Chains A and B, each alone.
Chain A
């Protein structure tokens, strides 16, 4: 099954390579990996999806923890999460088709971000299946180009990732949630 990991790492050069290399050499397949800044400048956050059974998922988590720059790993697969992917889709749209495409975009609450005489570029944000859905209906018009960011995930509600900045020196400190465990 597809697992979603939220991984907090030190914001240092080479950390992305270390994480990607780990998946490669342990023969785990990354389906999607996104990385970006967080509310703390010294911490980056990755959302990684990988196909793994429960045992493999635990080993992925344990192996991630072996990387010295990894601060916290959360497998949020079974958690209530908001998951978002962003896509830009350039679709062929001649005069007579344009209104159809615009209609479809609006059904999916997508936005048109660029218009040219014979194409439209549509931006859509949402869960992966919603984007897949839009893509499916746009295909007959001719998808000229598409780019997706890969998913980012965040838990619902107040419960948040267990990283808190230390008041004294500003370096990242780990505080474990009650249910976040690094043991397997």
Chain B
């Protein structure tokens, strides 16, 4: 039957299972918005297009479904760039729909014209410019398929205004994807499996490095069985947290720049690394020259381009992590690594990130205490924590013990400040039953706080914990360590966050001492609308331990005597 491009757009989205989109209207996308009234899709009106992309991203990460963001041409589309790049680096499946000026005007520098397919070419998995309604259905089907298959990622579909307005015959069945060159389903050869099994069977000091790919492919039961059956300890990447419960006896905790010292030491001492759905980012390897010098390496990943990119590996098992683990599982045996585990247990005494948990309650409020108390209060429920980027993000990763998969949503690869608040809206829309907590710094919060209005407008029960130290804390920390405490442009003059929250109709409170943390968390949980808590924490506290950029993984900067630090703070 004949439909306009605008009607085809929404019908295709519905057929792809889309129930919510996050968007912002404008001239070149107006025909699509006009047709929205005939659709069952709920449109969430954001306050800035960057927010729409982070919401779609949060939605996708929390639910595993493709998130959708909509914007107009020109500035609407360019405002999406940061969110698209964020989704690209963290392999998050989102589809961005942008309006474009009429096809006859393309190339004329028309009002609000931007070559957004050109702009987003390096930061999308794929993108399209659609100038005819006839191409729309097939393009949208391809976009969703490409976004969610293989290594997921963002896909942008730019639709000219005339393609939305004019009509054509719509036939969903006939509009099948035509992607002759796209092969997302790779699998290892029997020889590669045999080589991997041989290395696993002969390892004396093996470690599993568990990454985001496990969560993306849903391989949590498989990785757990793999660890249980072999007895091989598991170190986690930031984005892998939750892939194996933090309370699992073989879970060592987070590795890398702010990982537990013993985890990094374990990796350096290992004779075999089994990397599963992770990509040896510089934040987890430290200096590559000195990284795990005596270890053989097996790399399980779906993306062939990740193999030997940063770390040269001995065996690559390219394929969906879940499928590959399932193939390996029947063939693996228990490894005799009790001696190795004893060695690691010996290192655990050296638990720098636990330092602060044992600090006396002396009236100072430490961010780590806030996070740890939040964890103790919310661990019983179905809680999703959405973090921003910086010190609070690392403290959260260290002190909030994630037992559930998909219970931490954070911007890892791109490190996008301003991610948390909008992403939490996407999470809550995708998972209305979940208890959603935003943990965000005072800097990152102010980057996208306009989305408070979106939260209120959508009547979403989200709790916001601002870790407010009056600085761009992680930058300040680097200035302290590496730039002789020259705090250039890092002190922040903040608004009164309580008044700000109240202006949006959000129940808001401030906490400045330890005793106030748990009551505030409880009050937030009991209130049936959004709550904002301004935690005023120690201003010059730092995240320990830390591997300086470019240093060896085991060379960590440790916390100075913690009691001295509190004393000098006055």
Contact = CB atoms under 8 A, between A and B. Distances in A.
B213 to A, nearest CB: 16
A5 to B, nearest CB: 15
A59 interface: yes
Interface string B306-317: 011100100010
B146 A17 contact: no
B183 A18 contact: no
A172 B122 contact: no
Contacts of A17: 118, 121
B318 A184 contact: yes
A91 interface: no
B192 to A, nearest CB: 8
A81 interface: no
A8 B178 CA distance: 16
A66 interface: yes
A29 interface: no
Nearest to A174: B180
Where chain B touches its partner, the secondary structure class is loop
Nearest to A43: B180
A59 B309 contact: yes
Contacts, number: 65
A9 B305 CA distance: 18
Contacts of B125: 66, 68
A71 B182 CA distance: 7
Contacts of B19: none
A70 B305 contact: no
Contacts of A68: 125-126, 146, 179, 181-182
Contacts of B183: 65, 174, 182
Contact of B305 (A10, A25, A59): A59
Interface residues of B, number: 26
A171 interface: yes
Contacts of B122: 21, 25
Interface residues of A, number: 27
B300 to A, nearest CB: 14
A172 B181 CA distance: 9
Interface string B201-217: 00000000000000000
Given A62-B307, A68-B126, A183 B186 contact: yes
Interface in B143-177: 146
A72 interface: yes
B304 A10 contact: no
B555 interface: no
Interface in A1-58: 9-10, 14, 17-18, 21, 25, 55, 58
Given A55-B308, A66-B303, A183-B186, A21 B121 contact: yes
A183 B121 contact: no
A18 B180 contact: no
Nearest to B142: A68
B189 interface: yes
B120 to A, nearest CB: 11
Contacts of A77: none
A99 interface: no
Contact of B312 (A25, A55, A62): A55
B539 interface: no
Contacts of B118: 17
Interface in A123-145: none
A184 B312 CA distance: 12
B304 A183 contact: yes
Interface in B125-140: 125-126, 129
Contacts of A10: 180-181
A173 interface: yes
A124 B177 CA distance: 44
A63 interface: yes
B117 interface: yes
A62 B179 contact: no
Given A68-B125, A174-B181, A184-B316, 19 more contacts: A10-B180, A14-B129, A18-B121, A21-B122, A55-B308, A59-B307, A62-B305, A62-B307, A63-B305, A66-B125, A69-B181, A70-B181, A172-B180, A174-B183, A182-B183, A182-B304, A183-B318, A184-B304, A184-B307
Interface of A: 9-10, 14, 17-18, 21, 25, 55, 58-59, 62-63, 65-72, 171-174, 182-184
6 contacts: A17-B121, A59-B305, A63-B305, A68-B146, A172-B180, A184-B307
